Structure 1
Amino acid sequence: MSIANFDLNLLRVFDAMMREQHVTRAAERLFLTQSAVSNALSRLRTAFHDELFVRRPEGMVPTPRALELESPVRAALLDIEQALAPTAFDPATSEWTFRLVANDYFSTVVMPPLITRLRQDAPGVDLRLLPHVDQPRALLDTHRADFAFGSLDPVEARFGSVDLLTEDFLCLMRPDHPLSQGKLTPERFATADHLLVSPSGHGDGVLDRDLARLGLSRRVVLTINQFAAAPAVVAASDLVVTLLRRVAERFAAEAGLITRPAPFKREPMPIRLVWHQRLARHPAHDWFRDTIREVTAAL
């Protein structure tokens, strides 16, 4: 295929189809008609000699060839976008959408002050949160996300990062829970019934590894994938949940619960903002990184 005979606008359609995997939604993203996207998809199939997207009950599923093309096409579009972008970003007048991979720690702790700041300083900026389920690096690599937020470790050389917060752990429980009185030792902690918040659904957490090093284990009665459900469950039961400090303190204040320090000595956990190095000099992204740093510095 010669680039001289290829309509580069088709790459925008390909990228939209990869993101949406649905013709109508891709058309809405591009502000085109559905027939225009269908026509462009037909031309793409001819150009690449591949179906690229196959209709399935769950949507238009990319073929192996489309998956191979996803990262280089998105990188090329990003390079063009950066070349055409202004040399400065004016938050007061610019329209921009940032895609951020984050769990509900971000939604609970960072989002309230961040959205207040965005509405004041950058009314044209939108934020789209993507689920944080064991794939932030893949989403950054394929440019489906601009940033990832969390305790991401290690940070490989192809990524940039900044540490925003550090967190330790608190146990959250009812005020009349047996563990609310007396010294909370690892042995007493292990005898309790526990609630585990695991966004990925995995059945153990870092504290289980701490217990194992002491020759102890705990019973996890209930595993959930969102922090927000924890306060109601703990308030209505004898379960104990161990959460990052800022989340636990917020839930304790809102739900009338109490906190106790987790009975383990461990280094504070760093919470990071991570991005692909390809975006390291983008003016809009520079502004967003600075804004997140300023917001989290006040927490």
Structure 2
Amino acid sequence: MNAQLSNIDFAALRTLRLVFRRGSFTEAAAELNVNQSTVSYTIDRLRRAFDDPLFVRQGATIAATDRCRDIVSSVEVVLGEIERAASPAEFDPAVASADISISATYLSRSVLMPPVLRALRRASPGIHLEMITGFTNAKDHLLSGRADIALTPVSIEESGIYGKRLLTSPYVCVMDKANPLTKGPVSVAEFASARHLVIHYGATWRPIYLQNLDQAAETIDVVASTPDPADLPHLIPGTDLVCALPELIARQFASRLHISPCPVPAATDVQMYWPARLNRSPLNEWLRGLIEDAAASVEPTMA
């Protein structure tokens, strides 16, 4: 074994994890309540032990090397097991105290998280929950420790991350209630010739129905786009625009917009992911159970 590696302790590994999560020596030092020089000294020790720079400068920021990412992934598992072993043998939600972060899309925040939050307030008032917007960046949220759980339609295939599909929601079309297309089922030809508002979610994500249109060599006229589904009841009324989106979101706007089945077959999954370091965490397991219960209670979507 590398002699220098044998001298590395858990405190040094926690410092490495924190610098990786925060992307800053300064922020890590502030959180640890130590001088930045102390953090720098610890990282220098780890650099020699692992024979890797671990972090490199990119302008005013630092970026982790690929080797550092691999090391932190393993460190997360080791520290997670140590922290789990140090936790009480019996988990009692009523007396638990912790800060939890969940990375989630609009669908999950608006459909799954309300009943989860109500259950948390009833059963575990000492839990503080932070919800952050997550989509294609959900994997990074988990690997960096920014999130303890991620709810996303994007598949994550990464060593050190576990996952489970929670539910599927088909796509539907929403439009102004005076739109002529409300008179009957919307055909593929009518859908293709309509004027569209597209939800781009502010990420490098191409909605499922557009992917399916690409495969069918069909195109649509996109005249407007927005990153947030909550904008639809404000943007669509009084226009000729059509928007396709998951039915679980569309049903929230049923009082203000007309909903029709989408003629282009498409559906989106809601998948739950969590890091290996928390796989056996009693708190994380309990919270995942609350989320699964919320998903199971969702009313079936329209066919």
1:144-201 CA-to-partner distances (Å, cap 9, x unmatched) read 5332213344767865433322211221111112222233111111111111112254
Tell me, which stretches of 5 or more residues in structure 1 are unaligned? none
Q: Is the 8 A contact 2:195 2:242 kept in 1?
A: yes
Q: Which residue does 1:189 correspond to in 2?
A: 191
Say what the alpha-carbon RMSD is for the aligned residues: 3.0
- Structure 1 Cα separation of the partners of residues 161 and 67 of structure 2: 26
Q: Which residue does 1:258 correspond to in 2?
A: 258
- Structure 2 Cα separation of the partners of residues 279 and 46 of structure 1: 27
Q: Is the 8 A contact 1:132 1:199 kept in 2?
A: no
Q: 1:76 to 1:213 in 2, by over 3 A?
A: closer
- Structure 1 Cα separation of the partners of residues 223 and 132 of structure 2: 28
Partner of 2:37, secondary structure, is helix
AA in 2 matched with 1:287: W
Query: Which of 6, 21, 40 is equivalent to 2:8?
Result: 6
2:286 is the alignment partner of 1:287: yes
Q: Please give the TM-score of this superposition, normalised by the length of structure 2.
A: 0.82
Q: Is the 8 A contact 2:20 2:64 kept in 1?
A: yes
Q: Which residue does 1:17 correspond to in 2?
A: 19
Of residues 157-166 and 16-25 in structure 1, the stretch that sits farther from structure 2 once superposed is 157-166
Sequence identity percentage: 28
Q: 1:214 to 1:180 in 2, by over 3 A?
A: same
Q: 1:206 to 1:270 in 2, by over 3 A?
A: closer
- Structure 2 Cα separation of the partners of residues 82 and 138 of structure 1: 23
Query: Which of 72, 75, 97 is equivalent to 1:73?
Result: 75
Q: 1:287 to 1:132 in 2, by over 3 A?
A: same
Q: 1:160 to 1:116 in 2, by over 3 A?
A: same
- Structure 2 Cα separation of the partners of residues 62 and 269 of structure 1: 33
Partner of 2:168, secondary structure, is strand
AA in 2 matched with 1:261: P
Number of residue-to-residue matches in the alignment: 293
1:38-57 CA-to-partner distances (Å, cap 9, x unmatched) read 31322321442466445655
Q: Is the 8 A contact 2:148 2:275 kept in 1?
A: yes
Q: Which residue does 1:208 correspond to in 2?
A: 210
Q: Is the 8 A contact 1:203 1:223 kept in 2?
A: no
Q: Which residue does 1:235 correspond to in 2?
A: 237
Question: Deviation of residue 245 (structure 1)?
Answer: 0.9
- Structure 2 Cα separation of the partners of residues 157 and 20 of structure 1: 21
Q: Is the 8 A contact 1:196 1:242 kept in 2?
A: yes
AA in 1 matched with 2:119: R
Partner of 1:92, secondary structure, is helix
- Structure 2 Cα separation of the partners of residues 160 and 63 of structure 1: 23
Q: 1:176 to 1:28 in 2, by over 3 A?
A: farther
Of residues 188-197 and 177-186 in structure 1, the stretch that sits farther from structure 2 once superposed is 177-186
Question: Deviation of residue 212 (structure 1)?
Answer: 4.3
Partner of 1:168, secondary structure, is strand
Q: 1:294 to 1:79 in 2, by over 3 A?
A: same
Partner of 1:235, secondary structure, is coil
Question: Deviation of residue 250 (structure 1)?
Answer: 0.6
Q: Is the 8 A contact 2:29 2:39 kept in 1?
A: no
Q: 1:212 to 1:74 in 2, by over 3 A?
A: closer
Trace 1:124-139 onto structure 2 (pairs within 5 A): 124-139=126-141
2:37 is the alignment partner of 1:38: yes
Q: Which residue does 1:96 correspond to in 2?
A: 98
AA in 2 matched with 1:173: M
Partner of 1:86, secondary structure, is coil
